[in-house]
Amino acid sequence: MSGSASLSISKIALVGNPNCGKTALFNQLTGNRQKVANYAGVTVERKEGSFITSANKKITLIDLPGAYSLKATSIDEAVTRDICMGTYNNESLPDALICVIDATNLRLHLRFALEICRLKRPMLIALNMSDIAKKRDINIDLPKLESILGVSVIPTIGTQKNGTKKLLKNIDTAFKIPTININDQTDLHVEVRKLLLECVHTPPNNTFQLDEKIDHWVLHPIIGPIILLVLLFIMFQAVFSWAQPFMNGIQDLTAWLGKIIADFLPEGTLRSLIIDGIFAGVGTTFAFLPQILILFLWILFLEESGYLPRAAFLLDRIMALVGLNGRSFIPLLSSFACAIPGIMATRTIPSARDRLVTIIIAPLMTCSARLPVYTLLISAFIPHRSIGILFNLQGLILFGLYLLGIVSAFFVALLLKKRKDSYNNTLLLELPSYRFPSIRNILFGLWQRVEIFVNRVGTIILTVSILLWVLSSFPKPPAGATGSAIDWSFAGIIGHWIQPFFTPIGFNWEICVALILGLAAREVAVTSLATVYSIAGVDSDAPGQLVHFLSTQWSLATGLSFLAWYVFAPQCFSTLAVIRKETASWKMVIITTCYLFFMAYFASFITWHITSFFS
């Protein structure tokens, strides 16, 4: 059977090497008709979407994890192998496969394509990045390649709006069962060399000249790390500087809406719930969305440009000093966004020991949920002072906090270095070609982050805000009681009860309440403070007003101690749940929680006493 006339296809799986542009094609084909979950039994991300073919047929599309070979060395590759072979749990076998290969790196990608051909499943090959190959004068004889393999080879451009137009036009009739004669004993490297000789013409001194010129500086043993450090430094400066106008706009909008509703509602319980509970909590947290998006903008830009694997290569030597290798870099960088996907990304690390250590230290990377807390405290206690022409003191402090988290993570990894396993720790990594980031893909990634943030605000943070309002408003003080009414509430009672344990690090009872509720989500600490002080009669229903209150009512020692706590703060429940699922061990959850708590308490203790001494 060579054609697709008799094939009934409704479910297709996308497969390919990492960095082949597979996910960009998936986004092009499915648009917003997609959902993200995990495969049963493992925390490997499962992306599934749908699209309509030119024959008006609905197709379910699955984006399988990137793999270099069906001989799996990681959890990701094992899932891809088992799905393609129909042996993964109760997962149904896809009707057909689309193997995505990079037209500029055929030597590596064709080998995996031959492995897929060996499965003898209905398939086609999407020759992605064909535009870049054309610019580099890489001439690929598509009819001949199709004839040898016995499958359709369709050029695609994952970064352009109409880059999948030809694929969609032909997909109804393009799937074929490969006719190339290869088996388990075939030397695939030899077959790839034959294909390259017969089907691909690469002019001399071509293609990679620009990549090599850039890599001469980017991968330089001295200049390369400096470039990386400068990029990260500018990134954190941008997070603080670029976001301010947008934050001010959100604050003004929140204050305006709050005033309208406050004027409309009569005094009473309902008005207090909406103004002191929801607006003070949710509104304050929502203002920090621009900073989170700017952080993600940088990460997506670096990823789309092809720079991230090079950063992993640069840091391989540094990570070797603490017993890891460059593979741990991308999971740790992902943890700057959120520790949960960062921990999940460790599944690509073949070494069990490296994977476990990376999971343990991932929570020390400063996740975006900490950003609202950092911004609030830095704005309250660090003066807005320019340093030179481009930088400001607040941005430098923010960069220092991120750097402190990284250094601490390396220190913990160093302590765990004595644990060894038999895996060869040598880093083997593909360096993709540099490319201009796809604006569409970046905007799509930012939109997904907005959805995640809004969902958190609309579920966790809103729920906690209402809960905290209830705890802070009831019970009412008895007749003739003195002092603030909130001191008689459940929140006040809980806060005063645990305060003695935190007194040595300068925390008041309001901070103690914020620490407990912050276990639901890190940014809830800001929500908690805004709600508590609003109910206490302080006009703190906007970040600017809360900043002013903290700077005048808290000591510098308390503010810096709280800031130090959040560098190491024990993680939210969701992160701990992912650690439990990834390691299948409550012991690792307890160890991670305890060492983070110890480091946070110790850092706050030192910060509090040193600052108090010099204040």
Q: Please tell me the least confidently modeled range out of 64-73, 245-254, 400-409, 538-547.
A: 538-547
Distance CA(179)–CA(398), nearest Å, equals 58
**Residue 180 reports pLDDT greater than 90:** yes
CA distance 95 to 81: 15
| Predicted confidence band of residue 594 (pLDDT cuts 50, 70, 90) | very high
If you average pLDDT over residues 352-381, what whole number do you get? 88
- Select the more confidently predicted residue: 465 or 120: 120
Tell me the pLDDT tens digit for each residue of 312-328: 788 777 777 777 777 78
User: Could you read off the pLDDT of 444-485 as tens digits, one per residue?
Assistant: 888 877 887 777 667 777 787 788 778 777 888 787 776 667
Q: Exposed, middle or buried by CB within 10 Å (0-12, 13-18, 19+), for 270?
A: exposed
When mean pLDDT is compared across 204-213, 398-407, 449-458, the lowest value belongs to 204-213
Q: What is the pLDDT of residue 540?
A: 46
Number of helices (H), then strands (E), belonging to the chain: the values are 28, 11
Q: What is the structure's pLDDT at 7?
A: 64
Q: In the predicted model, what is the mean pLDDT of residues 380-393? A: 78
pLDDT of residue 114: 95
Q: Average pLDDT over the chain, rounded to whole?
A: 83
Confidence band of 423 (pLDDT split at 50, 70, 90)? very low
Residue 391 pLDDT > 80, yes or no?
Answer: no
* pLDDT at res. 615: 77
Token pair 């946070």: residue? 600
- Assess whether pLDDT exceeds 80 at residue 337: no
Q: What confidence score (pLDDT) does residue 541 get?
A: 46
- 153-167, 194-208, 424-438, 493-507: range with highest mean pLDDT: 493-507
Higher-confidence position of 136 and 196 = 196
pTM of the model: 0.67
Report the run of H or E that residue 99 belongs to, with start and end.
strand 96-102
Lowest mean pLDDT among 142-151, 216-225, 320-329: 320-329
Q: Residue 2: pLDDT above 50?
A: no
Could you read off the pLDDT of 256-270 as tens digits, one per residue? 887 888 888 888 778
pLDDT on residue 340: 78
Residue with the bigger pLDDT between 282 and 214: it is: 214
- Comparing 14-18, 179-183, 375-379, 435-439, which segment has the lowest mean pLDDT? 435-439
CA atoms within 13 A on the CB side of 466: 8
Which stretch of 277-286, 355-364, 516-525, 552-561 has the lowest confidence by average pLDDT?
277-286
Q: How confident is the model at residue 185 (pLDDT cuts 50, 70, 90)?
A: confident
Neighbours of 7 (CB within 10 A): 15
Residue 1 confidence (pLDDT): 43
Give per-residue pLDDT as tens, 54-103.
888 999 999 998 888 898 877 888 889 999 998 887 788 999 999 999 99
Q: Which region holds residue 272: left if phi is over 0, alpha if psi is between -120 and 50, else beta?
A: alpha
Residue 419 has pLDDT above 60, yes or no: no
Least confident of 148-157, 288-297, 598-607: 288-297
Per-residue confidence (pLDDT) for residue 538, from 0 to 100: 53
- Which of 160, 66, 30, 159 has the alpha carbon at shortest distance from 448? 30
Q: How many residues are there in the chain?
A: 615
CA angle in degrees (0–180, nearest 5) for 80-82-176:
75
Report the pLDDT value the prediction gives residue 120, as an integer from 0 to 100: 93
Q: Which domains does the chain have, with CATH numbers?
A: 11-207 (3.40.50.300)
φ, ψ of residue 570 to 5 degrees: the values are -50, 145
Strand segments, DSSP code E, in 117-216 are 123-128, 139-140, 153-155, 200-201
The residue among 76, 566, 607, 563 whose CA lies nearest residue 363 is 566
pLDDT at position 4: 47
Instruction: Pick the range with the lowest mean pLDDT from 155-169, 366-380, 411-425, 597-611.
Output: 411-425
pLDDT at 151: 96
Q: Tell me what pLDDT residue 600 has.
A: 95
pLDDT of residue 535: 57
